[in-house]
Structure 1
Amino acid sequence: MAGNHSDPSGPDLALGIALTDLPDGGKLVGHRDGEPVLLVRRGAEISAVGATCSHYGGPLFDGLVADDTVRCPWHHACFDLKTGEALRAPALSPLACWSIEQRDGRIFVGEKRKKPSPVARESTAGSSPERIVLIGGGAAGFAAAERLRREQFQGAIVMISDDEAPPVDRPNLSKDYLAGKAPEDWIPLRSEAFYAKNNIELRLRTKVAALDVGARQVVLADGERVAFDKLLLATGAEPVRLTIPGADQPHVHTLRSLADSRRIIAASSTARSAVVLGASFIGLEVAASLRTRGVEVHVVAPEERPMERVLGPQMGDFIRALHEGNGVLFHLADTAASIGASEVLLNSGRSLAADMVIAGIGVRPRVDLADAAGLATDRGVLVDAYLETNVPGIYAAGDIARWPDPRSGANIRVEHWVVAQRQGATAALNMLGRGQKFTDVPFFWSQHYDIPINYVGHAEGWDAIEVEGDIAAKDCLLRFKRGGHILAVATIFRDSESLAAELAMEQSKA
């Protein structure tokens, strides 16, 4: 997942640099024993940490230093400059840290520091659970389990997932992995050995039938009951299924799981043509990946512009032109009427050749368990600022959670991978009684060929879009505003400005 290190660049930090080469607030990349090292100076304090993000290898020199942290420019992971700890998803692994010595007006980087031995933190009185059950093996469920053990929680952790694979890097399933650019070992968030080593009971291919709130038990489909002291619902979302004639044929796919991605890859090896139904992020990422594999792709969607609802008309026009420039054929303001063995019939009357069909027409939160158990729901599971439901001790995170947004004052639900990871980590802390509000600014990224689009904030509607730069030149920043207030910011190749926008939103109370 992380990028490979090239030949070391910059000064050999073991030999030292002049203090004047690193001004206050400055950053510098050098190397120590062949490893790239980032030096950061904050007043009299100087830190030496790994120079690349532990997520996908983003260059931290191009990131943002805020207080005692550095943020990755690519996908907004955040690290502690003093300890290297990964503070914020999507990064999970810490950065290496080196000792620093100053003498004779020079800075020397010494030996790599050993990782400090973890120290168990006390849970708040009366809130120390013996067993925590996590329902869901996606981003939120995994992040909760990982954070619980990172916090040295000593009780039992049971993760129940109806998936056949351990938690995976889901964004990759429609991006590099589907395009054939990412190897298999990029996909698991952690190896299977991680769960055994950390005493996490991972129960795959296991369906939950009900929650017995009164008995504090999870009822499995086979009748087994699993007791819990604290529970996290992280059941995620499921693809909306087609209901048109022919939708149940084997060459019709959706994409949510690793198995789904593998089936599409297998089909693409012999397919000459594909029809993607839906011009969503998933649909268009699939279209880009299939074009990379040499498959002819037609995209069918009811809207006038792809992704206009989220990114506005200007970006929608750009995304359409980008895909058309890569050979994708659009059929907008149209929908599929039926699917045959080798073609899709549109409501406009046109017939499209289709050796394979991928439906990307949206997802819906999986709230059936919550509804049946009497948890409060409203187009998702309602939670408070601590991600706790109306039933004490039961939390929800990820695609199903609708939480109070501190900036808009509204209850929002966001289907973003990074949000789900960050909520899982926050829920884990709160199951340990830490009382931490979830205040993170939503963030996501989308990849189309070699063009990344970063988005921070949340805008379900706006009255103005300010465009800075040149969208067609792939150098731009868009501000989505309502009543003069910035709700969200989308960027292409303006990573530092995206990070600055995120920080400004975090600091805003409006």
Structure 2
Amino acid sequence: MGEESKPSGPDLTKGVSLDQFKDGKLLGHVGEEDILLVQAGSEIFAIEPSCSHYHGPLAEGLVVGDTIRCPWHHACFSLRTGEATRPPALNALAVWEVTRDQDRISVQRKREMPQPAASHRSAPTPEKFVIVGGGAAGFAAAETLRREGFAGTITMLSDDGAMPVDRPNLSKDYLAGNAPEDWLPLRGEDYYQDAGIDLRLSTNVAAIDPKARIVTLGSGDKLPFDRLLLATGAEPVKLQIPGADQPHVHTLRTVADSREIIKAAGSAKRALVIGASFIGLEVAASLRARKLEVHVVAPEQRPMQRVLGAEMGDFVRALHEDNGVHFHLEDTVEKLEGKRATLKSGSVIEADLVVVGIGVRPRLVLAEQAGLAIDRGVSVNEYLETSASGIFAAGDIARWPDPHSGQDIRVEHWVVAERQGQAAARNMLGRRERFDAVPFFWSQHYDVPINYVGHAESFDDIAIDGSIDGRDCLLKYRKGGRVLAVASIYRDLDSLKAELDMERSRT
């Protein structure tokens, strides 16, 4: 990080020529500030060079029209205004004024940051909006409503005790000890007060009455609404074996969960992770970073095979084994007696910390009780509206018509939830905006990131370009000859292009 004090590239106040650009981009500086020049068609733009999410290098990103997409986690920014137009980035980037004198390009002055856009409402907007859920979708919706100029009341009800946080960090850098806790909140406490968002933490919702337009809280209080967003998310599947309720047995979903695991890891020597899911293996990697001995027990022949296929599954296993993880595959834990875990195979593992990662299930009770249409999730239309007018759903609970696969799908991933929250917010304002984003998620295992775009519930074959073992590959998951999803390791630009191809081939 010490190199950040040294500006990059040429001094843009002195001017540069187009032939200095590489692939339409040039990294330079004005004073001590680094700036990325981007050629988009006949125009040249100047923007901050690092994504406002995890500081991904935009110079390695993809220019689409007058936007640029981050190579790491597929955030998108307007080159004209710097506005973050797609999650996971939420904060705008600075932009500079560009001067052209024939073929000479120079940058002198930073533009003022754009103000929140005026609302696009074409009709009077109801005044009372309620959001049930304090995760990615709920927060993104609340933030978008204010960004779009909504001036009515926003009440956000969360049964969590913590403000909305960057949940992917809970199993990755924060759990590994590489990120401080103050990185976790998506916004500081002052934001909610300044934005006029009534965020109520540790608040349970008992019932929703779609006809009367009333939310009943666990306390008995009643809250009227004109528009409602259900974003109740998912909860970890609980282990149903003897001993699973012991205090050293944990699941991971909330900040409190992550804190408890970190505290337990401080005195633990050996950890048992039950389940070879993305969360389970990210936890395994994080606990190895804390120098614990880690054992993973899972019924699969290979980790992640159902989603990523056999060859990628073998690679993931080998990667974790190279980092000291012990696998017990095609096996299950039958009982936990104190710190003693007995496996179906007869093996015994002594572990003073157990983390269960065997999947999550959508929290559908409120939707079911309210009489909303349910199909392995809350059924929504292309505008994310449920079967009850004025009630929308987003995030892990929502099953929506996916224009790429031509099927109704439900996806339990962070970026999808954020993007749905934003789309739902605009539709609560009457925008009638179809949700047609291509699903995207990423997973981090030690120094290896795995990016995945699209959605393949099943596939016939996998076309592999490059080398999985060489950590330089692009995998296309096909069914009936059609590419439904693409996974990649260190093929960031190809991953962005695959996402764009999917957007352009919607059914």
TM-score under structure 2 length normalisation = 0.98
Contact 1:453–1:491 under 8 Å retained in 2: yes
What residue is the counterpart of 2:289 in the other structure? 292
1:372-415 CA-to-partner distances (Å, cap 9, x unmatched) read 00000011000000000010100000000000000121100000
Residue of structure 1 equivalent to 2:101: 103
Kindly indicate whether the alpha-carbon contact (under 8 Å) linking 1:3 and 1:56 is maintained by their aligned counterparts in 2.
no
Q: Which residue identity lines up with residue 92 of structure 1 in the other structure?
A: L
Which of residues 338, 342, 346 in structure 2 aligns to 1:345?
A: 342
Matching of residue 43 in structure 1 with residue 41 in structure 2: yes
Q: Equivalent residue for 2:458? A: 461
| Contact persistence 2:120–2:148 (CA under 8 A) | no
State the alpha-carbon separation in 2 of the partners of residues 119 and 251 from structure 1.
49
In the other structure, the counterpart of 1:11 is 10
The correspondence of residues 47-196 of structure 1 with structure 2, limited to 5 A, is: 47-103=45-101, 105-126=103-124, 128-196=125-193
Q: Distance in 1 between matches of 2:182 and 2:246?
A: 31
Distance 1:44 1:281 in 2: 43
Provide, for residues 134-175 of structure 1, a one-character-per-residue CA deviation record: whole Å limited to 9, x for no partner: 000000000001111111110000000000000000000000
1:124–1:432 CA contact under 8 A, matched in 2: no
DSSP-derived class of the 1:455 partner: strand
Query: Any conservation in 2 of the 1:30–1:36 contact (CA below 8 Å)?
Result: yes
Runs of at least 4 residues off by over 4 Å: none
Structure 1 position 254 matched with structure 2 position 271: no
Q: Offset at 1:343?
A: 1.6
Report how far residue 5 of structure 1 moved.
3.5
Please say if residues 491 and 498 of structure 1, whose CA atoms lie closer than 8 Å, have aligned partners that are also in contact: yes
- Residues paired across the two proteins, number: 507
Q: Does the Cα contact within 8 Å between 1:4 and 1:57 map onto a contact in 2? A: no
Deviation string for 1:63-122 (max 9, x for gaps)?
A: 000111100000000000111100000000011000111125311102110123334224
Q: Which runs of 5+ in 1 are unaligned?
A: none
TM-score, normalising length: structure 1 = 0.98
Residue 317 (structure 1) aligns with: 314
The Cα shift of 1:33 comes to: 2.1
1:79 and 1:85 in contact (8 A); partners too: yes
Per-residue deviation, 1:290: 0.2
User: Where does structure 2 lack aligned partners over 5 or more consecutive residues?
Assistant: none
Partner Cα distance (2:190, 2:285) in 1:
34
Q: Distance in 2 between matches of 1:335 and 1:118?
A: 52
Equivalent residue for 2:278?
281
Q: CA separation in 2, counterparts of 1:123 and 1:76?
A: 28
Considering only aligned residues, what root-mean-square deviation do their CA atoms show, in Å? 1.3
State the distance in 2 between where 1:34 and 1:129 align.
47
Deviation at 1:289, TM superposition (A): 0.3
From 479, 490, 498, the equivalent of 1:501 is: 498
SS in 2 for 1:375: coil
List per-residue Cα deviations over 1:222-244 (Å, max 9, x = no partner). 10011110000000000001111
**Closer, same or farther: CA 119–397 of 1 in aligned 2, 3 Å:** closer
Among all aligned residue pairs of Structure 1 and Structure 2, give the percentage whose two residues are the same amino acid: 63
